[in-house]
Amino acid sequence: MWIGNGDGTFRDPKDYKTGRRPLGVSFADFNNDSLPDLLVINGEGDSFTTLLGNGDATFQPGKDSGADASPNFGAAHDFDGDHIADVAIVNLQSTDLSILFGRGDGTFHYPPRNYRTRNGPFAVASYRVSADNMEEPGLVTADNGAGSVSVFLHHGRKGQASAAGRAGE
């Protein structure tokens, strides 16, 4: 991690141990302390690593959690409305989108809730969608092997989601 000095330069980097072949990184607050934490997707070993922030631009040692076959990219969001960050991961080999619900301490419930995507999901992004006069979390996967994207909409309860549509076929 490179921390800025505020003048366009950086301090010496600090390395943090993760799983094998880290592929993607994103920030969220996984333990509800209002500090940024890191999510690292590990391309080998079917896992991801969370590093809880200390509030001073440093992180605690990482905690590895299980993922599905060949995780490729992840996004964090509160997908079930409990005010705890959850993780959505696309899995290149299984062609699934996996959602792991957060416990509020940097760990996640396992096994994940899996949703089928098109062939070769490569990336995922979360967003807020307005539906039925409410804002709900949604997910979009870039399905590289199919040349399409899959859109998933939340249905207001834990584990309730569906593919709303696919584009680009």
pLDDT digits (tens, 9 = 90+) for 105-153: 999 999 999 998 888 888 998 887 766 666 677 888 998 888 888 888 7
User: Does residue 107 sit within a domain?
Assistant: yes
Residue with tokens 């940024």: 36
Q: Given CA atoms 141, 95, 165, 127 in this order, what sign does their dihedral have?
A: negative
**Residue 167 predicted with pLDDT over 80:** no
Q: Write down the pTM of the prediction.
A: 0.83
Q: Please give the pLDDT value at position 159.
A: 47
User: Does residue 64 sit within a domain?
Assistant: yes
User: Does residue 160 sit within a domain?
Assistant: no
Q: Domain tally for the chain?
A: 1
Using an 8 Å Cβ cutoff, are 117 and 141 in contact? yes
Using an 8 Å Cβ cutoff, are 99 and 87 in contact? yes
Q: Please give the pLDDT value at position 134.
A: 64
Distance CA 40, CA 74 (A): 8
User: Does residue 33 sit within a domain?
Assistant: yes
* Average pLDDT rounded to a whole number, residues 52-77: 92
**Residue 84 predicted with pLDDT over 60:** yes
User: Does residue 14 sit within a domain?
Assistant: no
Q: Which domain holds residue 90?
A: 22-127
User: Does residue 140 sit within a domain?
Assistant: no
User: Does residue 113 sit within a domain?
Assistant: yes
